[in-house]
Structure 1
Amino acid sequence: MGRLGLAFKILFSGETAKKVSDALTNAPAGLPEPAAKPKPQPPPKPTRSEAITLLSALQREARFVDFIQEPIDGYNDAQVGAAVREIHRGCHDVLTRMFAPTPIVDQPEGATVEVSDPASGAYRLTGQVAQTSGAVSGQLVHHGWVANKCEVPKWSGEGESADVIAAAEVQIS
């Protein structure tokens, strides 16, 4: 029987149509099922360390890396002090915006303070420290800092520039 004859038989015979339908839906065992085509995955977005992003912000807004990398032995104290004023202001702005740091202990240095939980990571006991599990008191040497937020901006650059703190500047004449 040719293809045309088979087509008419399927079209006009319910029994033949059912057999063909069953044969098409119930593939015999042993024949592999067609594999689903995998979706192409988009390439992963380049990543950048948040530490590099922080350094980049400190460089952009305070020229921090330039200052730290510059040998200052040849400068007098007045020149260094003048440079530090702007660097200090810019670094303060970056840290405040990204981390909002506040003192852990709101007392002046030298004040006597009581530490109710000396085992917490918020305190570092120095001097004659005995093994104790209770509250201790002592003189405040440094008030400590706690970050009230951590909002380092997400980087959206290209992969090859992930480690760039500050791009090289070239003026074309």
Structure 2
Amino acid sequence: MTESNISFLGRLSLAFGTFFAVLGDREYAARVHRLRDGAEVSAPVTAPQPAATAAPTIKAASPEAALQLLGLLQRDARFVDFVEEDIANYSDADIGAAARLVHDGCRATLREHFTIRPVREELEGSRVTLTDGFDATAIRLTGNVVGKPPFNGSISHRGWRVEEVRLPMLTKTHDATVIAPAEVEL
């Protein structure tokens, strides 16, 4: 799979990784912000020069924000309960009813803690022209991708971009690995 043809799950993994890297690293977040605002727009990319190109620094992302989001999805939507449940013996109607509840809870959680907007404002199916210098981190070309821009095509998915994050503050003693406490009824 080429870098410009990342699968949906690959994009999802990249999105979550980038999301949590932005949350955990102020400098990285500032670079992403400058890139989104066009401040770091550079000349067209040429072949890398081995001596001049430094290897990227790989840094472990802090899992606390991911665990916090997972805890919120569990609290408000019973997300982990739903995913961990063996649904093989349930009817499609039962699964659909449960999925509706999980969907409503997940949607409410995302809307409470994130401002999410489409990457592209045009409706899906709209014809667009992508000129040279389009943001390849925000737009993925699919289908018969050959040649150089301008590219003409149809929007098959508008994409999503997080504009604001509003996760609650945590105390130092909070154990983020407990995404849902065990319940004991007395």
TM-score (norm 1): 0.65
Residue 74 of structure 1 aligns with which residue?
89
Q: Tell which has more relative contact order, 1 or 2 (C-alpha 8 A, sep 6+).
A: 1
**How big is the shift at 1:120?**
2.8
Q: Cα deviation per residue 1:21-55 (whole Å; 9 max; x = unaligned)?
A: xxxxxxxxxxxxxxxxxxxxxxxxxx961000000
What are structure 1's unaligned runs of at least 5 residues?
Answer: 1-46
1:60-99 to 2 correspondence within 5 Å?
60-99=75-114
How many residues are treated as equivalent by the alignment?
Answer: 124
Q: Cα deviation per residue 1:78-100 (whole Å; 9 max; x = unaligned)?
A: 10111111111110111112221
CA contact (8 A) 1:48 1:155 kept: no
Give % identity.
39
Residue 10 of structure 2 aligns with which residue?
none
Question: Is the aligned partner of 1:167 residue 2:181?
Answer: yes
CA contact (8 A) 1:103 1:144 kept: yes
Q: Cα deviation per residue 1:117-168 (whole Å; 9 max; x = unaligned)?
A: 4443110001111241x33220111110011112222222625x23111000
Distance 2:116 2:130 in 1: 20
Aligned alpha-carbon RMSD (Å): 1.9
* SS of corresponding position for 2:129: strand
TM-score (norm 2): 0.61
CA contact (8 A) 1:58 1:90 kept: yes
Question: Is the aligned partner of 1:51 residue 2:66?
Answer: yes
Question: Is the aligned partner of 1:104 residue 2:104?
Answer: no
Larger radius of gyration: 1
